[in-house]
Structure 1
């Protein structure tokens, strides 16, 4: 395994661990509500990202990208159209763990890659292979079972698995670089979050914070920015199949965190649903392994020629 693989593997694993840590953050910052934590995360994360741009470079590339948009309102509309979807997902990520929805949202993240694959098939005509078709079919059976046994769906799961893919599909359509897209998103979301903190009186309450809040709140932005940076580094250093495969670590950790640390109740009647989703996940991982093996074999053949 070369150095790029090693660095990428470590970056991917560490970023997903940090995302799981963030899932616990709302509990650590009680009595703040999940919405309060979300607002502070947006503000602090934006500050951390801009600090990263200024300290480590990237300003020139950002300027080139902004110049490519210019004053073309259609280009800006395509770039900004997914921002509300992203804001909602970031809010839900902080709201769910402290409002009894930790497992529901984790299951939404299990379904998210499959829904994204389906969206790619519908909107970008991406071909699904046999493994992917079976994974989607089994996931569909799991969803149907949950509907049959509960006569309802947890809205948190729906919000993630159906609400998050459009953000990625729109970003792909607009061909917006991931880091710059996030910076633009947060430059829109963070001022709104700051207005919320001001109007709700949360800014005034800073004077009443406990000592650990002055450490945890800035760390919230730093951890978010570092997790994103590591995730982007892994995306750069690893082959797509391997990166996609490692991305499933996040919902697994979220599920474990919600179950073991947040006291989420897992219904016995829902075990078949979770089991089927795990099977669908397993098929996706097998597909990723096979793709990675083929890529490495083709690379060796190309090097031998």
Structure 2
């Protein structure tokens, strides 16, 4: 298997950008969570279309569509995964402002573990010693959080179970990151616009407070870059490593909640995040060892025509 340095940078950058998006719920009040979601979908489509032109990705999009048309049944899987990610986009913006903030966070705690489980069962990835210890500590942290929460709501279940399904389908279909996300938004954004025109009064709010316009534009750009980085990393990295690195997002959300939203720093939270951080540190250490060992003994391999990848071994 191949570890891409660009893939590692992409997922870590995406974690930071998702942290910024997390704050947009408070930036854009008094908009409803669903209104923010709808504007995010529309503005993200505009930003992704511009990115498609900048990167000259249209031939890749055409080639992907032609390949999918050779087996039209594959479009059913693609459309199903689009519906899944649309629901997750909505939950991420709707949950925190409707009393489900803890449930969303808990779902994202569980998400890397459910994704790793998919990698082991579906894609046959193997764990070395360092990775086993890393996942053990992360699982202990999540288990502690579950014990504190004393429940697992439908929101948390949706967050942790649906994304592995989405990642698995996209990996199976070999969907190019930018092209696949752009097609998702082509399908989602029109529905979002209908909602804004028919069911929302946010246009009235925009007319009264122009500050929301730059917020909406920046939300689309940041969201496009974050999702592109995440999907790029999902294809460029082993799923196990990718999943553990996504723990950077809930850790960052925890810090932001304390710094900007007045969340208390409790002993329980410190225990949960401490064990997860230890697991993440072990996974990063393992990746460093593998890349260092491979540099002198293996020919560098590439993913998506770059030369920043190294072969991963196992202990």
Change (3 A) 1:209 1:164: farther
1:162 is the counterpart of 2:161 = yes
Residue 143 of structure 1, CA deviation: 4.0
Change (3 A) 1:119 1:285: same
Residue 20 of structure 1, CA deviation: 1.5
Q: Is 2:113–2:139's contact at 8 Å kept on the other side of the alignment?
A: no
Which SS does the other structure have where 1:81 is aligned?
helix
Residue 222 of structure 1, CA deviation: 1.8
Which SS does the other structure have where 1:161 is aligned?
helix
1:226 is the counterpart of 2:218 = no
Change (3 A) 1:293 1:156: farther
Q: Is 2:177–2:228's contact at 8 Å kept on the other side of the alignment?
A: no
Q: Distance in 1 between matches of 2:83 and 2:233?
A: 26
Question: Match for residue 109 of structure 1?
Answer: 108
Q: Is 1:106–1:252's contact at 8 Å kept on the other side of the alignment?
A: no
1:77 is the counterpart of 2:96 = no
Question: Match for residue 62 of structure 1?
Answer: 61
Unaligned runs of at least 5 residues, structure 2: 302-315
Unaligned runs of at least 5 residues, structure 1: none
Residue 227 of structure 1, CA deviation: 3.4
Q: 1:203-282 residue pairs with structure 2 within 5 A?
A: 204-205=203-204, 208-229=207-228, 244=242, 247-265=246-264, 268-282=267-281
Q: Distance in 1 between matches of 2:257 and 2:26?
A: 11
Instruction: Note the alpha carbon deviations across 1:157-183, whole angstroms, 9 max, x for none.
Output: 443333321211121112211111111
Q: Distance in 2 between matches of 1:71 and 1:198?
A: 37
Question: Match for residue 151 of structure 1?
Answer: 150
Residue 39 of structure 1, CA deviation: 0.6
Q: 1:83-162 residue pairs with structure 2 within 5 A?
A: 83-99=82-98, 101-102=100-101, 104-153=103-152, 156-162=155-161
Change (3 A) 1:146 1:18: closer
Q: Distance in 1 between matches of 2:251 and 2:143?
A: 22
Which SS does the other structure have where 2:217 is aligned?
helix
Q: Distance in 1 between matches of 2:96 and 2:296?
A: 43
Q: Distance in 1 between matches of 2:172 and 2:111?
A: 18
Q: Is 1:103–1:264's contact at 8 Å kept on the other side of the alignment?
A: no
Q: Is 2:104–2:159's contact at 8 Å kept on the other side of the alignment?
A: yes
Q: Distance in 2 between matches of 1:11 and 1:120?
A: 20
Q: Is 2:245–2:280's contact at 8 Å kept on the other side of the alignment?
A: no
- TM-score, length of structure 1 as denominator length: 0.81
Q: Distance in 2 between matches of 1:143 and 1:14?
A: 23
Q: Distance in 2 between matches of 1:234 and 1:115?
A: 17
Q: Distance in 1 between matches of 2:282 and 2:108?
A: 16
Q: Distance in 2 between matches of 1:12 and 1:133?
A: 21
Greater share of residues in helix: 1
Residue 31 of structure 1, CA deviation: 0.2
Residue 43 of structure 1, CA deviation: 0.7
Residue 213 of structure 1, CA deviation: 0.9
* Aligned CA-pair RMSD: 3.4
Question: Match for residue 20 of structure 1?
Answer: 19
Q: Is 1:42–1:221's contact at 8 Å kept on the other side of the alignment?
A: yes
* Farther off after superposition, 179-188 or 128-137: 128-137
Residue 68 of structure 1, CA deviation: 1.4
Q: Distance in 2 between matches of 1:71 and 1:199?
A: 38
Change (3 A) 1:300 1:155: same
Instruction: Note the alpha carbon deviations across 1:75-127, whole angstroms, 9 max, x for none.
Output: 11122221122112211222244345555534543443332122111112221
Question: Match for residue 189 of structure 1?
Answer: 188
